[in-house]
Amino acid sequence: MGFFKILLKRSVEKDLRKIDSSRVSRVVEAIRALAENPFPSGCKRLRGAKNFYRIRVGDYRIIYWVDVKEKIIIVYYVRHRRTAYRR
Protein backbone atom coordinates (compact mmCIF):
# COMPACT_ATOMS: atom_id res chain seq x y z
CA MET A 1 0.00 0.00 0.00
CA GLY A 2 2.94 2.37 0.59
CA PHE A 3 3.42 5.14 3.08
CA PHE A 4 0.90 7.92 3.60
CA LYS A 5 1.83 11.49 4.41
CA ILE A 6 0.37 12.60 7.74
CA LEU A 7 -0.72 16.20 8.26
CA LEU A 8 -1.82 17.52 11.64
CA LYS A 9 -4.31 20.32 12.11
CA ARG A 10 -3.39 23.00 14.62
CA SER A 11 -6.17 21.69 16.87
CA VAL A 12 -4.26 18.40 17.30
CA GLU A 13 -1.31 20.16 18.88
CA LYS A 14 -3.64 21.90 21.32
CA ASP A 15 -5.39 18.62 22.08
CA LEU A 16 -2.09 16.85 22.79
CA ARG A 17 -1.09 19.54 25.29
CA LYS A 18 -4.27 18.81 27.28
CA ILE A 19 -3.56 15.07 27.55
CA ASP A 20 -1.61 13.63 30.47
CA SER A 21 2.06 13.24 29.48
CA SER A 22 2.04 9.51 30.27
CA ARG A 23 -0.60 8.93 27.57
CA VAL A 24 0.69 11.27 24.87
CA SER A 25 3.35 8.82 23.69
CA ARG A 26 0.72 6.14 22.96
CA VAL A 27 -1.37 8.62 20.99
CA VAL A 28 1.62 9.85 18.98
CA GLU A 29 2.66 6.27 18.19
CA ALA A 30 -0.85 5.50 16.96
CA ILE A 31 -0.76 8.56 14.68
CA ARG A 32 2.64 7.55 13.29
CA ALA A 33 1.39 4.02 12.65
CA LEU A 34 -1.33 5.43 10.39
CA ALA A 35 1.37 6.23 7.80
CA GLU A 36 1.87 2.51 7.22
CA ASN A 37 -1.74 1.39 7.66
CA PRO A 38 -4.46 4.08 7.57
CA PHE A 39 -7.14 1.47 8.33
CA PRO A 40 -5.83 -0.51 11.34
CA SER A 41 -7.99 -3.09 13.05
CA GLY A 42 -10.55 -1.35 15.19
CA CYS A 43 -10.82 1.77 13.04
CA LYS A 44 -14.33 2.84 12.19
CA ARG A 45 -15.73 5.13 9.55
CA LEU A 46 -17.74 7.96 11.04
CA ARG A 47 -21.39 8.08 10.07
CA GLY A 48 -22.45 11.02 7.93
CA ALA A 49 -18.90 11.95 6.99
CA LYS A 50 -17.20 10.64 3.87
CA ASN A 51 -13.61 9.44 4.33
CA PHE A 52 -13.53 10.32 8.07
CA TYR A 53 -12.39 7.61 10.46
CA ARG A 54 -11.58 7.18 14.12
CA ILE A 55 -9.30 4.96 16.12
CA ARG A 56 -9.30 4.38 19.83
CA VAL A 57 -6.27 4.83 22.04
CA GLY A 58 -7.44 4.12 25.57
CA ASP A 59 -10.03 6.76 26.47
CA TYR A 60 -8.97 8.98 23.58
CA ARG A 61 -10.16 9.07 19.99
CA ILE A 62 -8.13 10.11 16.97
CA ILE A 63 -10.39 11.56 14.26
CA TYR A 64 -8.80 11.65 10.81
CA TRP A 65 -9.54 11.95 7.09
CA VAL A 66 -7.99 9.71 4.41
CA ASP A 67 -7.35 10.43 0.72
CA VAL A 68 -6.27 7.08 -0.72
CA LYS A 69 -5.46 8.42 -4.21
CA GLU A 70 -3.12 11.18 -2.97
CA LYS A 71 -1.89 9.06 -0.02
CA ILE A 72 -2.63 11.79 2.53
CA ILE A 73 -4.01 11.54 6.05
CA ILE A 74 -5.18 14.65 7.88
CA VAL A 75 -5.60 14.28 11.63
CA TYR A 76 -8.29 16.67 12.87
CA TYR A 77 -8.74 15.90 16.57
CA VAL A 78 -7.40 13.90 19.46
CA ARG A 79 -10.10 14.09 22.10
CA HIS A 80 -11.37 12.26 25.14
CA ARG A 81 -14.22 9.92 24.29
CA ARG A 82 -16.75 12.15 26.11
CA THR A 83 -16.13 15.07 23.76
CA ALA A 84 -14.82 13.45 20.58
CA TYR A 85 -18.08 13.36 18.65
CA ARG A 86 -19.62 16.68 19.66
CA ARG A 87 -19.88 19.30 16.96
pLDDT per position as a tens digit, 23-55: 999 999 999 999 999 999 999 999 888 899 999
pLDDT per position as a tens digit, 46-86: 988 889 999 999 999 999 999 999 999 999 999 998 887 77
Q: 46 burial class (0-12, 13-18, 19+ CB within 10 angstroms)?
A: middle
Domain residue extents for the chain: 5-80
Give the separation between CA 39 and CA 86, rounded to whole angstroms.
Answer: 23
* Phi, psi at 51, each rounded to 5°: 70, 15
Beta bridge partners of 74: 7, 65
Query: 5-80 in CATH: which number?
Result: 3.30.2310.20
pTM: 0.89
